[in-house]
Structure 1
Amino acid sequence: MGEMNTADISSNELVLIMAGIATIGVIGGWVAQKLKLPDVVIYLILGVLFGPEFLNIVNIEAFPTANEIILTFGSAFILYEGGREIKLKVLNEVKISVGLLSSLGVFITAIIIGFTTHYIFKLPLGPSFLLGATIASTDPAALIPVFKSVPIKNKLKQTVISESAFNDAFGAILFTSILTGLTMTEKVGLLGTSSKLVLMILIGLLVGIGIALTAIGLSSDKRVGIFHGYAPIISIIVVVFSYEISERFGGSGYMAVFIAGLIYGNKKRFGLWVPDEDYISGVHFRENIATIARMSIFIVLGTHLNLTSLMKYGSRSIIIVLVLMFIARPIVVLVCTFFDKKANWSKNEKLFMMWVRETGVIPAALSGIIVSTKVAGYEIISSTVFMTIIITLLVQASTTNIVARKLGVLEK
C-alpha cells in the first residue's frame, strides 16, 4: 500500500469518529432503556467519557466543519420534527397561551437568567443574556417520548408540546441575534436588533411556508405529486433548503424549518396527502434521522465539556438551574396563562406546566456553537447548559408521571 497523505488520514479519522459516535449512541440508548433513564443523559455522560477529557476516542473539535454540520443540521431537523407534531386544530383552542409561552415566555426567562448569571458569575450582560437565551427553550424531543408513555389530558399535552416546538424556534432566533451582536465588530442599537429579529422571523415564515407547500405538492397523491415515492428523502431536502435559503436572505433558518414542519404535519388542511405506503416509510425514516441527530448532538456536547470548568463553575451553575426551575418558569406560566381566559386553565394544570420544562436538544446544539465560537464566558455557559440538561431531565422528565397523577391531569 502507498503512503497516505494528510487529507486521507483526516478523512479516515473523520469517518471513524462518525462511526464511533453512532456506536456510542447505540450503546447509550440500550443502557438508557435498561436503567429507565432519559437517553440524552446517558449520551451526555458517554460523550464526556469517550471525549478528550478521559479516553479521547472521540475528539470532534479537530473537525470544525463536521462539528458544525452535526449541531446545525441536527438541531434544524429536530425543530422540523417538532413542527410536525403540532396539530393546528388543537392549537387553535390554546393559541393565546402557546403564543405567549413560546415568545414572551422565552424573553422573560432569558432576562431573569441573564441578570441572575450577571450577578452570580460577574459576567458582562451580553454573555449573560446569551446563556439566558440558550436555556430559555424547552425540548420537544424529550417531552414527546415522555407523553407517549404518560396519558396527559390532550389539551394540556398539545399545549406543552406546541410551546416546546415554538419556543425552540424563538429561543434559537433570540440566541442568534445576541450572538451576532456579540461577535460583530460594530455595535447595533436596540431598535436595530429588534428590527432584525422581526425580519428574521418574517423571512423564515415565508421561506418555510413556500418550500413546504412546494414539497408537499410534489410528493402528494395529486397529479403533480410525481415524486411521492421519494417522500422520506424529500423531508431532508426540505430541512436543508428551508434553513439555507432563509439564512441566505437574512431570515431565521430555525424558524423556516419549524414552519415547514408545521405545514407538513397539517397538510390535510391544505387538501394534500401522501399515499399511505410512502407516509409510513417516511415516519420510520424521519424517526431514525431524528434519533441519530439527538444522539450526535448530546455526545458532541459531552465531548466539548471541560471538567475543570465544570468543577470550577458547577455549584454556581446549579443555582442558575434552580432559579430557572423554581422562579423563572413559574413566573412565565403565571404571566402567559393569565391573558388566556378562553383556555380556562385550572390551578393544577398551571402547576403541571410549571414543572414540565425539560432542557434538551436545541440548548445543547446552541451551547456547542458557543464553544466553537469561543465567546467570552463560553466555559461558564457550557457548564451551566450541561447542568441544566442533566438536572431538568433527571428530576423533571423522570417524575412527570408522578406529578401528573398527583395533580390529576391524566386522561380518564
Structure 2
Amino acid sequence: MDFLDTQATFLLVGVLLLTTVLAGSVSSRFGLPALIGFLGLGMLAGIDGPGGIDFENFAFAQAIGMASLVFILFSGGLDTDLKDVRRVAAPALIMASLGVLISAGIVAGAAVLLLDIAPPQAALLGAIIASTDAAAVFAILRSTGLDLHGDVPALIEVESGSNDPMAIFLVGAVLLFIAEPAASPLTLVPEFLVQMIMGAIVGIAVGFAMPALLKRGGYRQGGLAFVISIAAALIAFGAAELFSGNGFLAAYLAGLVAGSRSYAAKRTVSTFQDGMAWLAQVAMFLTLGLLVTPSQLGPVLVPGLAITAILMFIARPVSVFLCLAPFRQFAWRSKLFVSWAGLRGAVPIVLATFPIVAGVEGAFAIFNVVFFVVLLSSVIQGPTINWVAQRLAIADHESRASQRLGQSAEAQP
C-alpha cells in the first residue's frame, strides 16, 4: 500500500466512523437502539449497498469483534456498582451459566424440529444466540432513563456482563464435537472450571493493580491515566487467556473491581473508557454490517422469524423463570421484564463468525439466521422496553412490595 492509498484509507475509515455515529443518533431518535443505525450503515456501505465495499474477511471481523468486546465489558464493569453486584451475584451467575445452557438447549431443539437442520448445526445456533449482549443492554438501560426499583436493573446488567464466557465456551465445545465426534462432554468440565477460576483470579488482580498504580505513580489526570486504563483492559484479557482463563470474564471483573476502588483519576478514566466502549461498538457493528449481504437474507426470513419467536417467547422466559425460582425478591412481573430485556446484539454475530472461520458446513446460513434474529430482537425489544416496564408497573410494584416488607418488619416485636 503506497502513501496515497494510506491517506484514502484513513479518510474512508474516518468518514465511515463519523457517518456511523450520525446513523446511530438518527435511529435513537426513532426509538430504535443505536446499533440498528450502526449495522444499517455497514450494510449500506457493503457490497449490496451504494458503498459497494467488498468485505468478506470473517477472521479480521472476528478479531475486531473480540477486541471491541474487551473494552465494552471493561467499561461496563467500571460503571457497575459493586454493591449492586453483591446483592444479585447469585441469581445473575445462575442465569449467566445455567440460563444460557437452558436457552441454548431450547433453541437447538426447536431448530431441529422447525428448521430441519442437523443436530450439530442446531446446537451451534442455540449456543451462539443464547447469551444476552452486554453492549446492547448497557446502552438501552442507560439511555432510556428507566427508574426501576429493587434489584432488577442490577440483575440485568450483571447477567449481560457475565454470560458471554458461557456462550463462548458452549460455541467452542460444539465446534470441538463437530471436529472430534468421539470426544466426551465430561472432558470439558475441568476446562470450563479452569477458564472461570483463572479468568476471575486474573481479572480481580488487574482490578486491584490498576488503581494502585494510578495512585503510586501520581497519574491524577490526563493522557497517561487513560493509557494505563487501556493497558489494564488488554492485560486482563491477554493474561487470562495465557493462563487458560476466560479473557472476557477477566476484563469485566477487572473493570468491576477497579470501579469499586478510589483514586484521583477515577472520574476521567471512567469517562474515557465510556468513550472507548462507544468507539468499540461503532467499529464492531460497522464491521459486522459490512459482512452481511442483504440479498442473501431472503431465504432465512422464515427460519429467522421462527427462531426469534422461540427465543423471545419460550427460551428466554423459561430460562429466567427457572433460574430465578429460588429468589423470592423477584416477583413474576420482574421476571417477565427481565425476560423481555434480554436483548441480543453484537456478541451473537461475532460468535457466528467462529463456525465460518472453522469451516463448518452450513456456517454461512447460521450467520445469516443469527444476524436476522439480532436485527429483529433490536427492532422489537429495544424500543418497547419502556412500554413493557410501564405495562408491568414493575417500578411501582417493586416499591409497594418493599413498603409492605418494611411495614411487616416494623410490626414485628
Q: TM-score range by the shorter chain?
A: 0.7 to 0.9
Q: Cα deviation per residue 1:263-299 (whole Å; 9 max; x = unaligned)? A: 12222xxxxx121xx2232222112211111122112
Amino acid at match of 1:311: G
In the alignment, which residue of structure 1 is the partner of 2:158? 162
In the alignment, which residue of structure 2 is the partner of 1:177? 173
Q: Identity over the aligned pairs, expressed in percent? A: 26
Q: Cα deviation per residue 1:250-269 (whole Å; 9 max; x = unaligned)? A: 222112112212212222xx
What TM-score do you get using the length of structure 2 for normalisation? 0.87
Q: Mind listing any 5+ residue stretches in structure 2 that lack a counterpart?
A: 400-413
Q: Cα deviation per residue 1:333-360 (whole Å; 9 max; x = unaligned)? A: 111111224xx22121112112111111
- Aligned-partner Cα distance in 2 for 1:260–1:25: 29
Tell me, yes or no, if structure 1 residue 340 matches structure 2 residue 327.
yes
Asked if structure 2 preserves the Cα contact closer than 8 Å seen for 1:301 and 1:367, the reply is no
- Aligned-partner Cα distance in 1 for 2:266–2:63: 27
Of residues 244, 258, 274, the one that matches 2:263 is 274
Of residues 6, 13, 16, the one that matches 1:18 is 13
Q: Cα deviation per residue 1:44-76 (whole Å; 9 max; x = unaligned)? A: 1221111112234444435954x3442111012
Aligned CA distance change for structure 1 residues 347 and 294 (closer, same or farther; 3 Å): same
Amino acid at match of 1:232: F
Aligned CA distance change for structure 1 residues 24 and 57 (closer, same or farther; 3 Å): farther
Of residues 133, 142, 147, the one that matches 1:139 is 133
Could you tell which deviates more after superposition, 231-240 or 321-330? 231-240
Of residues 22, 25, 45, the one that matches 1:27 is 22
- Aligned-partner Cα distance in 1 for 2:141–2:234: 28
In the alignment, which residue of structure 2 is the partner of 1:381? 366
Indicate the RMSD between aligned Cα atoms, in angstroms: 2.4
Amino acid at match of 1:346: A
Of residues 352, 376, 386, the one that matches 1:391 is 376
- Aligned-partner Cα distance in 2 for 1:376–1:306: 19
In the alignment, which residue of structure 2 is the partner of 1:3? none
Could you tell which deviates more after superposition, 200-209 or 105-114? 200-209
- Aligned-partner Cα distance in 2 for 1:146–1:154: 18
Asked if structure 1 preserves the Cα contact closer than 8 Å seen for 2:24 and 2:36, the reply is no
Could you tell which deviates more after superposition, 89-98 or 395-404? 89-98
Amino acid at match of 1:97: P
Aligned CA distance change for structure 1 residues 126 and 186 (closer, same or farther; 3 Å): closer
What TM-score do you get using the length of structure 1 for normalisation? 0.87
- Aligned-partner Cα distance in 1 for 2:114–2:164: 26
Aligned CA distance change for structure 1 residues 94 and 209 (closer, same or farther; 3 Å): closer
In the alignment, which residue of structure 2 is the partner of 1:196? 191
Aligned CA distance change for structure 1 residues 166 and 90 (closer, same or farther; 3 Å): same
- Aligned-partner Cα distance in 2 for 1:131–1:363: 9
Asked if structure 1 preserves the Cα contact closer than 8 Å seen for 2:195 and 2:244, the reply is yes
- Aligned-partner Cα distance in 1 for 2:113–2:292: 23
Asked if structure 1 preserves the Cα contact closer than 8 Å seen for 2:85 and 2:154, the reply is yes
In the alignment, which residue of structure 2 is the partner of 1:285? 272
Q: Mind listing any 5+ residue stretches in structure 1 that lack a counterpart?
A: 1-5, 268-272
Of residues 117, 120, 133, the one that matches 1:126 is 120
Secondary structure, counterpart of 2:68 in structure 1: helix
Amino acid at match of 1:195: P
- Aligned-partner Cα distance in 2 for 1:408–1:22: 39
In the alignment, which residue of structure 2 is the partner of 1:403? 388
Asked if structure 2 preserves the Cα contact closer than 8 Å seen for 1:46 and 1:302, the reply is yes
Asked if structure 1 preserves the Cα contact closer than 8 Å seen for 2:82 and 2:257, the reply is no
Secondary structure, counterpart of 1:123 in structure 2: coil
In the alignment, which residue of structure 2 is the partner of 1:250? 244
Amino acid at match of 1:75: L
Of residues 104, 123, 132, the one that matches 1:110 is 104
Of residues 188, 201, 226, the one that matches 1:206 is 201
Could you tell which deviates more after superposition, 294-303 or 104-113? 294-303
Amino acid at match of 1:158: A
Aligned CA distance change for structure 1 residues 208 and 14 (closer, same or farther; 3 Å): farther
Could you tell which deviates more after superposition, 156-165 or 78-87? 78-87
* Shift of residue 218, structure 1, vs aligned partner: 0.2
* Shift of residue 22, structure 1, vs aligned partner: 0.8
Aligned CA distance change for structure 1 residues 169 and 225 (closer, same or farther; 3 Å): farther
- Aligned-partner Cα distance in 2 for 1:112–1:404: 26
* Shift of residue 389, structure 1, vs aligned partner: 1.6
